[in-house]
Every structure is written in C-alpha cells, then in structure tokens.
Amino acid sequence: MAENTPAQTIAAGYATEGSALELGTVLVDGVVDPAAKVRIPFATLNRHGLVAGATGTGKTKTLQGLAGQLSDAGVPVLLADVKGDLSGLARAGEHNPKVDQRATDTGDDWTPTAYPVEFLSLGEKSAAIPIRATLTQFGPILLSKVLDLNDTQESTLGLIFHWADQRGLPLLDTKDLRAVIQHLTSDEGKAELKGIGGVSAATAGVILRALVNLEAQGGEAFFGEPEFDPADLLRVVDGKGVVSLLELAEQSANPKLFSTFLMWLLAELFEELPEAGDLDKPKLVFFFDEAHLLFNDASKAFLERIEQTVKLIRSKGVGVFFCTQLPTDIPNNVLSQLGARVQHALRAFTPDDQKALTKTVKTYPTSKVYDLEEALTSLGTGEAVVTVLSETGAPTPVAWTRLRAPRSLMAAIGPEAVTEAAHASPLWAKYGETVDRESAYETLTGRMAAQQQAQEQQAPPAPADAPPPPPPPAEEQGGSSWFSDIISSPAAKSFMRSAASAAGREITRSLFGTRRRR
C-alpha cells in the first residue's frame, strides 16, 4: 500500500463527517494536490475566525468566495464592503483561463453563480439602502468610541444618557443630544443631576465639539430613524442565505463610525437572539472588515466588552470573522477565541514587520512540512496558510492552501445596478426615507417656548413711555444661544420636573450600553 504524501497527510486532518465550507487544496513544495481538500466544518463556524494578509494578497476574493458558499448553504452573511468591490456577488461569474486553472488546481466543479444581495449603506449619500441607528439605541459607550472621548468624557456622556433615559427623552439624532447637553449645563439643569453626578461645562464643550466634527463627517445622516432591525440580516431567499453588503459611502471620512456600527450590530444580535446550542450550521456569519479600527485606542473596559460579546455570541449561533492586515491588530484575548485562521501573505520590509511575522508564526501549530516564516512571505495571490478547528474541536494541521475562486463576478457591478437592486428590495420601503419624529429636541424647545409664551401673556403691559427692551446679548462662549436662553428660563425647572414624573421607567441597557429592546 502506497504511503500517503505530505499533502494527503495534511488533508486527512481536514476530513469531516458533516457538511463543510471548502477553502481549497493543499500545496507542498510548489505542487498542488487537487484531491487534498482543506475545509472548515459548518458546525465549527460559530467558533469564529480570522482572515488576514497584506494589501493585494487576495483577502477580498477570499471573503467573496466564503460568502458565496455560505449563501449556497442557506446561511445569511453580513459583509463589510469597505472598498466597494464586492457587489459582484449579485452576478454570476465568468469563465476565463485563470478561473478555469484555479478550478482545476482546487478540484472545484466551478459553476457561475449569483447570490441574493442586499446593498446597505450608513447614511443617505449612496445608491444603497440607508440604514440608521438612534443615539438612544446606540448608547454612550459605543458613541464615546466614535467621538474619541477619554474615560472622563465617556463617564460624563453616560450620565447625560442616564438622565435622558430616566426622563423618557428620546435621543434620536445629534440635535437631541446637543439640546440635552445645553440644558444640563445651564444653572437650572445642573440641579437635575443631583444624586447622580455632575457635568462640567468644559467636558460638555468637548463632547459638543466632537459632535460637530461627527456631523461634518456624515454622522448626522446616520443617527436617526427608522432604526435598522438586525433581524433583517437573517433572511433566506429560495434556500440561499441573503448576503448583506454594507458599504462605507460618505463614512469614508470616519471609518471609526463604520467599525463601531458593526460592533453595535453584533451587540444587538447578542441581545436579541435566543440561545441556540450546537447547530449543524450557523444562523449568521458576520465578517468584521477593517477590524483594527475597532481596537485602536480602545479603553480596557471597551476591549473587555468586545471580548465578552465575541465569547458569548457563539452560543447564539453567530460566527464572527475578523478581517485585517496583521493578526497583531487583534488583541490576544480576542485572537485566542478565533478558531479558524486564513492568513494570506505578509510583508517583512521593516523591523516592525519582522516582529509581526514572528508573532504570527507563534499563533500556529508547529508544522513538520513548512517553514512558516518563509511560507508566510512566499504565498502567492489567492493562497493562504490555514488552520481551523476540526469537528472534534482540535486544531487541524497547518496547510499551505490554494484557495478556490469565487463563483460570482469578481468585479463591481456599478452604481446604477446597485440603485436598481436597492429600490427593488423590500427593505427600501422600510428604511428608504428618513423619519424625524418628536424627540428630546422638539420636546424641550416646544414645551419651554410654550411656557415662556404663557408667562409673557400673563405679564402686565409695559407703560406707553417705557423704553424698548435691550437687545439680546451676543452669543456667549460655551454655546449659549436663543435655545439655551429658553431652557435656562425659570419655566425649565418646572417643566423638567413634570417630565420626570411622567416619564415612566428608565431604559435598561446592555453590556455595551445599548438599549434593551422591549
């Protein structure tokens, strides 16, 4: 009996009894074995994963291929389309010599395939379906990350949200938050915070300036209603999982908002989905692109919340793949939870690159077949060093893998086609138009103005020869204006006390400070 080749020995570690996602085939000493399959069991996809590699090494096509196979298996996918070149998932691919050769190398019966795609975008300046979140739902912890606040400023923002929650004042968009901050920094408003802390004018000014910057970068169009329901990510059409593509659009000036919004979606799914136990395949696979943006400059508390969410959400049947250039972009406590590793080529041009390469090698099982440092710098485009969790939960042998080609179109389909698909979607009627209902801003300004008008009508008329009233003072440093004059009037305190007594229960917030839905 012939002895197994090294490629076949490696592939034996990837054998599965249940269904699996096909990654590609093993390559040893420059020779690929189409029969030596590398795969990820669907049952272990909720143990999460990492797709990493330098620019131009094929990460995007890997994501496209994984999303297509998941959709074919009836698993919905959320995929961040950071560069706008994944829209081809909606169209069948095309034969060409490179695709045909890749199919031969990987033993793939390659068939052009299109997938059901929803084109989503943060805000409104896009051909895709605009999706939004309210500030109340987003919560102070994630908003602090977007606004780049320090710990003290984050605590202050938390007090502001707490106060608004208690009094039933919805913070739907940025003008709502601005109105509440201006009230709480007035003389009358400061009294409202007795017993729960205080807000300094200096700290409030920092938060207000950060809000203005966020609005200038397109954030104003994102926060508001109708609020996106994460349940819309879990759809299956004609047996295929829907691929939700989320693009940056005008948020390219603030990618931190984009990455934090993805974390909000993940936190919402964690709160909403029931416990699922062990499943044959996940309910949803969540690809978290540009993951380093989420972790950069994050506080210890924020990182702990991410770690806990990633750890616990697998019990809800959700798999999370972080996508970035270097594994070292991911904190160790999160990286240790990622069962599947698909590492494209790394560059080692600088001392820092060399350190990252050495650290990356240490995250892989020992290989008797490959020199991993050499392999990781020698991988061709569309090749990766892979290890995953087997069906028994043990790491598979390291495999230099030639990855399958996506079956969908490996090019963008253009904004006109995206617009047509977006308007034809059932989600357009749900999210296409902005709703601006009464919230904290309207409540405060309207009620205060009514109180002031009532007081003026009750005042005795001025004598005929009385001099005209002095003009209103110029706007003072710190944001005083006609609005702050109104909310700092004597009627403000009376109104806010009545609002507090009528507001009902305080909002319950989750691990990430997001509102718990009722």
Q: What is the pLDDT of residues 122-136, one digit of tens each?
A: 877 778 999 999 999
> Strand pairing of 383-387 and 399-403?
antiparallel
Closest Cα to residue 232, out of 284, 282, 309? Answer: 284
Kindly state the DSSP code that residue 51 receives in the 8-state scheme.
E
Tokens of 61: 């096509």
Can you tell me whether residue 399 is helix, strand or coil? Answer: strand
- Residue 360: pLDDT above 50? yes
| Mean pLDDT value across residues 227-239 | 95
The runs of H, that is alpha helices, within 366-508 are 372-378, 415-424, 426-431, 440-458, 482-487, 490-502
Task: List the Cα angle 344/350/356 in 5-degree steps.
Answer: 50
Q: How far apart are CA 364 and CA 387, in angstroms?
A: 7
Structure tokens at 3: 């002895």
Give me 112's structure tokens: 């052009």
Structure tokens at 40: 């990820």
Q: How far is CA 322 from CA 78, 169, 193, 340, in A?
A: 12, 36, 41, 10
**The predicted structure's pLDDT at residue 80:** 86
Q: At what angle do helices 140-147 and 201-216 cross, to 10 degrees?
A: 70
Q: In degrees to the nearest 10, what's the CA dihedral of 380, 383, 387, 391?
A: -170
pLDDT at 463: 58
Residue 370 DSSP class: -
Tell me the per-residue pLDDT of 24-46, one tens digit each, with 9 for 90 and over. 999 999 999 999 999 999 999 99
Which pLDDT does position 462 carry in this prediction?
54
The chain-wide mean pLDDT, for the chain, equals: 85
- CA nearest 288: which of 239, 337, 355? 337
pLDDT interval class at 507 (50, 70, 90): low
Letter string b/e over residues 164-189, b meaning 16 or more CB atoms within 10 A of that residue's CB: bbbbbbbbbbbbbbbbbbbbbbbebb
Angle at 482 between CA 480 and CA 484, to 5 degrees: 45
Asked whether residue 217 carries a pLDDT value surpassing 80, the answer given is no
| Radius of gyration of the chain, Cα coordinates, nearest whole angstrom | 27
- State the CATH class of domain 17-131+285-424: alpha beta
Residue 89 has pLDDT above 90, yes or no: yes
Peptide bond preceding 472: is omega within 30 degrees of 0, i.e. cis?
A: no
Q: What is the mean pLDDT of residues 103-126?
A: 92
The band of 461, judged by pLDDT with boundaries at 50, 70 and 90, is low
- For 221, the enclosing helix (H) or strand (E) is helix 219-222
473 has a pLDDT exceeding 70: no
At 322 the pLDDT is 93
Please list the alpha-helical segments (H only) found in 273-344. 292-295, 300-313, 332-335
Integer Cα distance of 100 and 514 in angstroms: 48
Question: How many alpha carbons fall within 13 Å on the CB side of residue 87?
Answer: 20
CA 40 – CA 403 distance, rounded (Å): 13
Other beta carbons less than 10 A from residue 213's beta carbon: 14
List the chain domain ranges: 17-131+285-424, 135-222+438-454+478-502
Task: Write the pLDDT tens digit of every residue in 398-427.
Answer: 999 999 999 999 999 988 999 999 999 999
370-394 average pLDDT score:
95
pLDDT at 142 over 60: yes
Rounded CA gap, 5 and 32, in Å?
12
By CB neighbour count within 10 A (0-12 exposed, 13-18 middle, 19+ buried), where does 496 fall? buried
pLDDT in the model for residue 183: 80
| 511 touches 303 (CB < 8 A) | no
CB contact at 8 A, 136 and 142: no
Residue 480 has a pLDDT of 43
pTM across the whole model: 0.85
CA distance 185 to 91: 54
- What percent of the chain lies above the pLDDT cut of 90? 55
Q: Is 82 in contact with 122 (CB distance < 8 Å)? A: no
190 touches 100 (CB < 8 A): no
